[in-house]
Structure 1
C-alpha cells in the first residue's frame, strides 16, 4: 500500500479522536505523576489505541519505520559496493591488456615499455578512467571491456536525471551524447525562463523530447518527477563515506571527459533542481 503525504489544506480526513479519547489514553500517565504535558508527550511518542480498537502509531514507531525504509533503500542501492565492482572491472581491463601485451608484442623492449606504462596508471577509479580513455590499447578485448564499462557507467550516471531514458541510452554514441546535451540545454532554458518570470514553451519541449518523459503533462510535473529522483540520489550519496563520494564525483566527471558541455548542462540542471 502506498501512502502519499501532502501539505495540509483542509480537505484531508482524519479519524475521529476527541478530547475524551485523548484523556482516556493519557489516564494511566496522569494518575502516575499528574503532569498533563508529560503525559501528552509520552502519548505522542508511544501512540494510542483508537476507540474502534485500531492502533494509532506514535512518533517512535513512525521513526522506526522511516529508519527501516531508509535501510532498505541503502541495501538496494549500495553505492559503496558499486564502487568496489567498478574497481574490479577496471582491474580486469588492465589484466586483459597486460596479457595481450605479453602475447602480441614481439620485442622484449617494446613489451617492457608498454607494461611499465600500465604499472604507472593511477590507482583511484576516476583517474584510471581518464588515463584509459587516452590509452592506446594493444589488446582489442581489453578495449572492448573498457568501452562496455564506460557505456554502462554513463547510463547509470544519467539515469537519476531522466526517467524513461534507458532505451535512449543503450547505444550512447557521439550523436546520442549530442542529443542528450541539447535536451539538457532546452530543459535548462525553460528553468531559466521560469525563474525570470517568463512562461516557458513546455509544449515545444515535449514535441521534441516528450518520448523521454512518458506521462508528463506539465513543467511542474516534470520538475517534481526529476526533483524526487535528485532527492533519491542525494540520499544515496549521503550514505557514502566522504572518500567514496569524492570518487563518485570524480568518476562522473571522467565519464563525460569527451563532452564537457554535457557535463556543464547536467551540473546546471542539478543546481536548478536543488534551488
Structure 2
C-alpha cells in the first residue's frame, strides 16, 4: 500500500517478506506447552522440538507436514509408470505401418510388394524398427506424418527431460527450431567445459544468456545457478532411466538417436550429462524409484516425477531437523509450496518464526555445559500461569476475591494497584490524581476523579513466614502421573511468595531416597528417575534447618507425598531404604515432626492417592504435631497447597 502525491492510497499485490497482516506469534501458549513437557521430564531442547513437531492450534507441525510429503510421494509412485514414451512411440509406429500397408495393398507393382516385404521384415523391438525405417520412403502421407511425429515426440521428450518447459516450447517444431536447439546445446556444453576447467566464465555466461536465455525461464544469474538447475534435472532423468527395466532402458536409449531425426542432438545431451556429472558429483545420479501405477509418463514427465521425488526426500530431511545444526530456516519454502501448496509454506514460516521468537524473547538460555534450559523469565511466566490457574480455582470454589493480593492491612510494600470493590487500603492520592489528569478529567482547574482512576497503597501483613515445601520425587510420583501437578504446585507457590509475599522465605525440598534443597529452576527441570525410597525424615530435617535460620518468622511446613516413609538418614549421612518400612524409619521421621512442633510449626501433609499405610502414618503425624491432613485430587493439589499456606500465614491452625 503506497500513497501518491495527492494523498490517495493505492493497494498493490503482496510479494515477499513477513506478512504485514499476520497475527503476532503467541508465545504464551508455546511456552506453556514447552513448560509442561519440561516439567514432565523432557529437556528444554526436546520440548521445543516436540512443540515444533506437534504444531499449534492454528499451525500444522513438522510431523503433519512430513506425513503429507510421504503421502504425496506414495501417490506419485502408486499412480504412475515410466513407459509412457515407449508406449506412445509404439502406437505411432503401429499407426504408420498400418497406414503404409493400406496404401500399398491395392498397388499391383513389384515395388509395392517389395515395400511390404520390407515392413514385414522389421525387427520386433520398437527402437530397432524405428531406426530401420529412418531411410524409408513413405508412400502414405498419413504414415509419413506419424513417423515424423515419432521423431518430434522423441526430441520433445529428450529436451523436456533436461530442460523443464521445453516440450511445450517445441510443440510446433520446424527445422529452424531444431537447429536453434542444437546450437544452444553446443554453446552450453562449451560454456560448461570452460567452467569445469576453471576459466572465468562470467562474461561468457552473460553472452550465452543473451543469445539463448529464452530456453531458461528460471533466469539464472550465474554459471553456478545454471549448473545447479541443469544438474538437478539431469540427475532426475538418470534416476528415471535407472528405475526402468534393462529392456526398457535399452529401447529408450536407442530411440533417442532419432530425436528430431538428428543424432547430433542425443550426442550433445550425452556430453551435457557428462559435464554436469563432473561439476555436480554430489547429485544423486545412481538412485531409482519403483513406479507401479497405471498412468504412463513420458520422459519429460518421468524426469519431473523423479525430480519431485528427490525434492520430497530433501524436504523430509529438512523437516526432520535431525542433522547437526538444523534450523527451521533451512526449509526450502518455495519447494514446500510447490509440493504441498501455499498453506504448507505459511505453516513452516510460522513455525520458524515461533522458534526464532522463543529464542529472541529470552525464554530459553544456554547453560554452561551447552544445554538449553528455561530462563528465569520463562520460569516467571510459567509461575504466573500456574498461580493464575490456582487462584481461579480458589475463587470459583470459595466464591472469594483474589486472595493472593498483599495483606489487607499492615506495612506498605511501596507498590500500588487499581482499587477493587471491597478494598480497605488507603488511596495513593498522587497516583490517583495523575491518572485522572492523564485520562483528561481536568477542566476549569478542577480534577474529576472516576473509580477507574483510583489506586490504593499495597500493603502486606506484618507477620513474616518461613515456608518449607517438601515434595516427593520417588518413582511412584512419576508412575501415577503426579509429577507434573507436583511441579505446577511448586511453581504456583513460588510465584505467589516471590511476587506478593516477598518478605517470606521459601525453601523447596525434594525427597526420594535422599532429600535436597533446590531452586525453582532445578525443580522444574528435574528429570524423572527410577528411584526407590521416600525419605521424609531427611526432608523434615532440612526443613527444620531452614526454619531455625529465621527464628522470628511464622513457620509453615507443607509436605506433598504419595507414600509412607521407606527411607531415613543415618548419623553418618547414609540413606537407608527398606520396604516394607521399618519401625526405625517411622520413629526417626516422627522425631523430626516433634522437633518441628517445638519450633511452632505444624506439618500439613497433602496425601496423594489412597495408600492405607500412608493414611495411617499421616494420622499419627497430625496428632503428634498438631498439623492437618489434606487428600486432594491432582487437579486440586495446587489450590490445596496455596490455600493452606495463605490460611496458615494469616494465623489459622489445622
More helix by share: 1
CA contact (8 A) 2:122 2:129 kept: yes
2:233 equivalent to 1:232: no
CA contact (8 A) 2:151 2:258 kept: no
Question: Does structure 1 residue 269 correspond to structure 2 residue 272?
Answer: yes
**Count of aligned pairs:** 240
Rg larger in 1 or in 2? 2
Q: Which structure has more strand as a fraction of its residues? A: 2
1:1-275 residue pairs with structure 2 within 5 A?
Answer: 21=37, 24=40, 49=54, 62=66, 67-74=70-77, 78-103=81-106, 105-107=107-109, 109-166=110-167, 168-200=169-201, 201-216=204-219, 217-255=221-259, 258-275=261-278
Between 1:170-179 and 1:261-270, the stretch displaced more is 170-179
CA–CA distance in structure 2, aligned partners of residues 55 and 170 of structure 1: 41
Q: Distance in 2 between matches of 1:50 and 1:22?
A: 17
Tell me how far 1:20 sits from its aligned partner: 7.9
Q: CA RMSD in A?
A: 3.4
SS of residue in 2 equivalent to 1:160 = helix
Residues 119-146 of structure 1: CA distance to partner in whole angstroms, max 9, x if unpaired?
Answer: 0011211111111221111212111121
Normalising by structure 1, report the TM-score: 0.72
Instruction: Mark the CA change 1:208 to 1:26 in structure 2 (over 3 Å): closer, same or farther.
Output: same
- The one-character-per-residue Cα deviations of 1:200-241 (angstroms, maximum 9, x if unpaired) are 111110111112213412222222222222233233333322
Deviation at 1:247, TM superposition (A): 1.2
Structure 2 distance, partners of 1:57, 1:146, is 51
- Residue 102 of structure 1, CA deviation: 0.6
The answer as to whether partners of 1:153 and 1:255 remain within 8 angstroms in 2 is: yes
Higher relative contact order (CA closer than 8 Å, sequence separation 6+): 1
Unaligned 5+ runs, structure 2: 1-29, 279-654
Do the aligned partners of 1:74 and 1:239 also contact (CA within 8 Å) in 2? no
Cα separation, 1, equivalents of 2:262 and 2:56: 63
Partner Cα distance (2:38, 2:63) in 1: 13
Query: Aligned equivalents of 1:82 and 1:259: distance in 2?
Result: 18
Structure-2 separation of matches of 1:157 and 1:106: 41
Which consecutive residues of structure 1, in runs of 5 or more, have no partner in the other structure?
Answer: 1-14, 28-39
Matched residues in 2 for 1:25 and 1:102: separation? 86
